[in-house]
Amino acid sequence: MDLSELIGRWPLLRQLREGDRLGLGRAVQSPRTQKLEPRTAAAERVVKSVCPYCAVGCGQLVYVEDGRVTQIEGDPASPISRGRLCPKGSATKSLVTNPGRELKVKYRAPYGTEWQQLGLDEAMDMIADRVIETRRQTWQDSDDKGNKLNRTMGIASLGGATLDNEENYLIKKLCVGLGVVQVENQARI
């Protein structure tokens, strides 16, 4: 590379020569940075989604590469958010990919001092058994005046405001079937 070419690459000169006076654009690009692409460019799929935090309902775009989420950004098409996300919404990718996520079932036995690992299917079986047993123990056919109750007061459920409508519907339907009336979510709080 000759000297004039080297000097010609000098950002200060390029700022003056190329009209990028503030040095925020072309003037400060190198051959390497010119080739840089946002990680969203390599995405195989862009999936439309909705922010999982507050109830404004900002649109999100989920970028996927090799079966992994590589970025989550605001969706410009949304009439609600017009592409914007707040700090929480902007951190959504780490909600999905953060290393602190639990990936296996953890089990603590009565009086136990440690977590144990449990297979998913085994855990589901154990939970089903607990529900059946507690229902039997605590079932109420009727009150002391003979009015029908048809329920258990031994089981309660809390949660739903962060979940999908379809999930909430199924929670309620199952609880109605089981006679569990203490079904609640954050709307109460």
Partner 1 sequence: MGSNMAENHPVGFQWVMEARLRNAKVMHVDPRFTRTSAMSNLYVPIRAGTDIAFLGGIVHYILENERWFDEYVKAFTNAPVILDARFQDTEDLDGLFSGFDSEKRVYDTSSWHYAGMPEQETAGERSKGGTKGEQSGHGAQAGGLTGGEPPEEDLTLQHPRCVFQILKRHFSRYTPETVAEICGCSEEQLLEVAEALCENSGRERTAAIVYSVGWTQHTVGVQYIRTAAIIQLLLGNIGRPGGGIMALRGHASIQGSTDMATLYNILPGYLPMPHAESVGSLEEYLENHGAPTGRWAAFPTFSISQLKAFYGAGATKENDFCFDLLPRINGDHGTYQSALDMLEGKVKGFFLLGENPAVGSANSKLQRLALASLEWLVVRDFVEIESASFWYDAPEHETGELRTDQIATEVFLMPAATHVEKDGSFTNTQRLLQWHWRAVEPPEDCRSELWFVYHLGRKIREKLKDSTDAIDRGILALDWAYATSGEHEEPSASQVLREVNGIGPEGKALSKYQELRDDGSTSCGCWIYCGAFAGEQNQAARKTPHWEQGPVPSEWGWAWPSNERILYNRASADPQGKPWSERKKYVWWDGEKKQWTGLDFPDFTPDKPPDYRPPENAKGDDAIRGDHPFVLQSDGRGWLYAAVGLMDGPLPTHYEPHESPFDNLLYGQRSNPCAQLHAHDLNRYNPAKDDAFPYVVTTYRLTEHHTAGGMSRTLGYLSELQPEFFVEVSPELAAERNLAHGDWATVITARTAIEGRVMVTERLAPLEVQGRKLHQVGVPYHWGSKGLTTGDAGNDLYSIALDPNVHIQEVKAATCDIRPGRRPRGPELLELVASYPGYEEESSDASG
Sites for partner 1 among residues 67-96 (CB under 8 A): 67-69, 72, 75-82, 84-91, 94-96
Question: Which of residues 9, 17, 39, 104 is near partner 1 by CB under 8 A?
Answer: 104
Question: Minimum distance from CB of 93 to partner 1 (Å)?
Answer: 9
Question: Minimum distance from CB of 33 to partner 1 (Å)?
Answer: 24
Stretch 7-66 residues interacting with partner 1 (CB under 8 A): 45, 47-60, 62, 64
Stretch 127-186 residues interacting with partner 1 (CB under 8 A): 127-132, 134-139, 141-143, 145, 147-151, 153-174, 176-186
Q: Using the minimum distance from each CB to partner 1, give the nearer residue, 15 or 81.
A: 81
Question: Minimum distance from CB of 16 to partner 1 (Å)?
Answer: 37
Stretch in the footprint of partner 1 (CB under 8 A) among 3-11, 22-30, 33-41, 105-113? 105-113
Query: CA 123 to CA 118: how far, in whole Å?
Result: 6
Query: CA 98 to CA 156: how far, in whole Å?
Result: 30
60 and 51 Cβ atoms separated by less than 8 Å: yes
Number of residues that bind partner 1 (CB under 8 A): 118
Q: Using the minimum distance from each CB to partner 1, give the nearer residue, 28 or 118.
A: 118
Sign of CA dihedral 25, 26, 29, 31: positive
Amino acid at 158: L
Q: Which residues pair with 64 in a beta bridge?
A: 45, 69
- Cα 122 to chain centroid, rounded: 26
164: closest CA among 188, 134, 185? 185
**Looking at the chain, how many residues does it have?**
189
